[in-house]
Amino acid sequence: MPLFWQKNKSFIILAILIVIQLILISVQTPLGEQDNYFERAVFVLFSPLQHGIVSFAQGIGNIWKGYFNLRKAHIENEEIKKELFFLTQENNLLKNALKNYKTEKEIMDLLQKLNQNILNARVVGIDASNYHKSVIINKGSLDGIAKNMVILDKSGNLVGRIVGPISLKEARVQLITDNECGVSVFTQREKALGILKGDGKGGCKLDYILSTDQNVFEGDSLKTSGFDGIFPPGIAVGEIAAISHTGELFKEIKVRPHFEFRNLDQLAVIMVESKDLY
Amino acid sequence: MKQLVEIVLAIIFALVLFAAFSYISVYLIQAINVFSLLVIYYAASKDEIHGACLGAVCGLIQDSFSLGVFGVAGIAKTVMGFIAGFVAKRINVVPASRNFVFVFIMITLELILWASLYAFVYSQGFNTGRGVIFIQPLITALIGSVLFPLIRKTIKSMNTNRI
């Protein structure tokens, strides 16, 4: 045995390392949904470092800006931007909610819940394997972040939801462009219901619209329906970019999401858990 | 102990570069594989066991920064680190041209492995970032062929000064 070990030590170690990682892969059932403790530990250990580096870079950038601009004007500008950010969110939520709720009381209840619970977050990391899958934000469990909280962009368009792992000051956001993300949506014009899925390449597709359905058109706006129990109803998602008929049961519909990846610096987290909204 | 500290510092440095690249542009992290450069350099200067172990660590760190199955990049980097150490022990990969070809082949191999595992686990293709990922072996090999001799020179001069 020792001779065998001496002779094949490196291959045995390689085999052990591969087997450990294969076990890690196989225990992740259902596919990638539950983050295991090991993954969480690695994320918690290394994400603050990434957060720190990006914050440092942002800090340097701010000093640079502050030096060359009039300090007071800069502060005022930041305040106005912040105010505008929240006002835009509030305005969009108001518009969306008004369209989808029947009674004034229902509108007031939901808006009160949402508007009091918007948290401003910044993107501090992108997905290493595919940047259209997820991003990491600078808010974590210390800020009250929990799984399935909804993320919007500056203009109130749907970006995604919080998925694990969540560390003290960082959390991962699954983007709607991820091919494992599903959102229940409807077309604004004719209220045709479907499931929005990411294509993993920056776009989305609308599934389960029957080929015989005549109520779906190119350019139609899509909004969340709320039927998935995660995303509140009425949030703007995207618009239909192309419809093709493949001769199969369902139409092939390409969707262009409203949010733009390159503009994902500032995000809004709706701090109400989906279970508290319904 | 000293070796462990060196490795940890090297991983942190790779992480700093990775974070900086992702902050500048998403295409940079697809064009330059900093973690793989670290694994190849370490495997070439030590052996296949060290290469495989560091490959596993770096791969899993990379996996922790991406949504989905944890361990895909880990396996790809483990195998690549092992092969890099195995080859470097038998062939002299220090000369500039050999160094370039060596890094190029290793990165290509890792990319093929990772893409195959990804396709197997997810049953679909991966995002090529408008094709940027395909030039990753070339760009990373070019950087490696400039960086590795510099690191070797620096270490050598530091050792000479100490003596």
List b or e across B126-157, with b for residues whose CB sees 16 or more CB atoms inside 10 angstroms: bbebeebbeebbebbbebbbeebeeeeeeeee
Q: Which residue has the higher pLDDT, A49 or B152?
A: B152
CB contact under 8 A, B20 and A127: no
Same domain, A74 and A210: no
Largest CA distance in chain B: 56
Q: What is the mean pLDDT of residues A153-175?
A: 88
Per-residue pLDDT tens for A128-154? 777 888 888 988 888 888 888 999 988
Same domain, A106 and A223: no
Same domain, A242 and A156: no
Other beta carbons less than 10 A from residue A3's beta carbon: 7
CB contact under 8 A, A10 and B20: no
Same domain, A115 and A198: no
Q: Which one of A14, A133, A200 has the shortest CB-CB distance to B66?
A: A133
pLDDT for B162 beyond 70: no
In a domain, A228, yes or no: yes
Same domain, A161 and A198: no
pLDDT for B52 beyond 60: yes
pLDDT for B17 beyond 70: yes
Q: What is the number of structural domains in chain A?
A: 2
In a domain, A105, yes or no: yes
| Percent share of chain A, pLDDT over 70 | 83
Q: What is the mean pLDDT of residues A107-120?
A: 70
Most confident segment among A1-15, A20-34, A38-52: A1-15
Other beta carbons less than 10 A from residue A36's beta carbon: 15
Judged by DSSP in three states, B128 sits in coil
pLDDT for A80 beyond 90: no
The whole domain housing A74 covers 41-172+265-273
Would you state the structure tokens that stand for residue A77, as one six-digit string?
């500008």
| pLDDT of the residue at B66 | 80
Closest CA to B126 of A222, A128, A157: A128
Q: How far is B121 from chain A (nearest CA, A)?
A: 9
CA distance B40 to B102: 9
Same domain, A168 and A186: no
What is the helix (H) or strand (E) element at residue A54, kind and residue range?
helix A37-68
Q: Which residue has the higher pLDDT, A135 or B3?
A: A135
Question: Chain A residues with CB inside 8 Å of B126's CB?
Answer: 129-130, 200
Q: What is the mean pLDDT of residues B86-94?
A: 90
CB contact under 8 A, B127 and A32: no
User: Considering only residues 129 to 148 of chain A, which have any Cβ-Cβ distance to chain B shorter than 8 Å?
Assistant: 129-134, 136
Q: How far is B127 from chain A (nearest CA, A)?
A: 6
Asked if B129 is an interface residue toward chain A (Cβ–Cβ < 8 A), one would say yes
pLDDT for A1 beyond 70: no
pLDDT for A34 beyond 70: no
| pLDDT of the residue at B80 | 94
Rounded alpha-carbon distances, angstroms, from residue A43 to A49, A85, A170, A253? 10, 30, 9, 36
CA distance A158 to A230: 12
Per mean pLDDT, which range of A4-8, A30-34, B26-30, B92-96 is the poorest? A30-34
Q: How far is B74 from chain A (nearest CA, A)?
A: 7
In a domain, A7, yes or no: no
Per mean pLDDT, which range of A80-94, A136-150, A240-254, A259-273 is the poorest? A80-94
pLDDT for A199 beyond 70: yes
Per-residue pLDDT tens for B124-138? 667 776 778 888 899
| pLDDT of the residue at B81 | 94
In a domain, A242, yes or no: yes
Closest CA to A126 of B139, B74, B29, B71: B29
The predicted model scores a pTM of: 0.74
Q: What is the mean pLDDT of residues A64-87?
A: 76
Q: Are B77 and B56 in contact (CB under 8 A)?
A: yes
Q: What is the mean pLDDT of residues A12-18?
A: 89
Asked if B73 is an interface residue toward chain A (Cβ–Cβ < 8 A), one would say yes
Q: What is the mean pLDDT of residues A191-197?
A: 88
Asked if B161 is an interface residue toward chain A (Cβ–Cβ < 8 A), one would say no
Interface test with B, best of A9, A10, A26 (most B CBs within 10 A): A10
User: Considering only residues 36 to 95 of chain A, which have any Cβ-Cβ distance to chain B shorter than 8 Å?
Assistant: 36, 38-39, 42-43, 46-47, 49-50, 53-54, 57
Q: Which one of B52, B64, B121 has the shortest CB-CB distance to A42?
A: B64
Q: Are A258 and A237 in contact (CB under 8 A)?
A: yes
Q: What is the mean pLDDT of residues B109-118?
A: 89
Which chain A residue has its CA at the smallest distance from B26's CA? A131
Query: Interhelix angle for A37-68 vs B48-64, to 10°?
Result: 70
Same domain, A163 and A191: no
CA distance A174 to A159: 8
Closest CA to A149 of A60, A267, A52, A265: A267
pLDDT bin (cut points 50, 70, 90) of residue A262 is confident
CB contact under 8 A, B52 and A10: yes
Q: Which residues contact A230 (CB under 8 A, 6 or more apart)?
A: A148, A150, A161, A183, A274
Q: Which residue has the higher pLDDT, A182 or A128?
A: A182
Would you state the structure tokens that stand for residue A80, as one six-digit string?
């106005």
pLDDT bin (cut points 50, 70, 90) of residue A276 is low
Q: How far is B38 from chain A (nearest CA, A)?
A: 16
Asked if B48 is an interface residue toward chain A (Cβ–Cβ < 8 A), one would say yes
Q: What is the phi/psi pair of residue A266, to 5°?
A: -110, 135
pLDDT bin (cut points 50, 70, 90) of residue B28 is confident
Place of tokens 């109520």: A215
DSSP E strand boundaries for B56-100: none
Same domain, A152 and A234: no
Q: How far is A138 from chain B (nearest CA, A)?
A: 13
pLDDT bin (cut points 50, 70, 90) of residue A29 is low
CATH code of residue A99? 2.40.10.340
What is the pairing mode between strands A118-126 and A266-270? antiparallel
Q: Are B23 and B34 in contact (CB under 8 A)?
A: no
Question: Chain A residues with CB inside 8 Å of B82's CB?
Answer: 10, 14
Same domain, A82 and A189: no
Per mean pLDDT, which range of A8-22, A96-110, A112-126, A180-194 is the poorest? A96-110
Task: Please state the three-class secondary structure of A146-208 as a single string.
Answer: CCCCEEECCCCCEEEEEEEEECCCCEEEEECCCCCCEEEEEECCCCCEEEEEECCCCCEEEEC
Which chain B residue has its CA at the smallest distance from A163's CA? B67
CB contact under 8 A, A131 and B47: no
Same domain, A54 and A78: yes
CB contact under 8 A, A42 and B62: no
Same domain, A213 and A156: no
Size of interface A-B (CB pairs under 8 A): 142
Question: What is chain B's mean pLDDT, rounded?
Answer: 86
Q: Are A161 and A184 in contact (CB under 8 A)?
A: no
Q: Quick one: how far is CA A94 from the chain centroid?
A: 21
pLDDT for A112 beyond 80: no
Same domain, A206 and A80: no
Q: Are A134 and A175 in contact (CB under 8 A)?
A: yes
| pLDDT of the residue at A99 | 63
The strand pairing partners of A244, in sequence order, are A252
In a domain, A128, yes or no: yes
Instruction: Write the DSSP assignment of A104-154 as a string of letters.
Output: HHHHHHHHHHHHTTEEEEEEEEE-SS-TTTEEEES--GGGT--TT-EEE-T
Asked if A163 is an interface residue toward chain B (Cβ–Cβ < 8 A), one would say yes
CATH code of residue A211? 2.40.10.350
Query: Interhelix angle for B34-45 vs B48-64, to 10°?
Result: 160
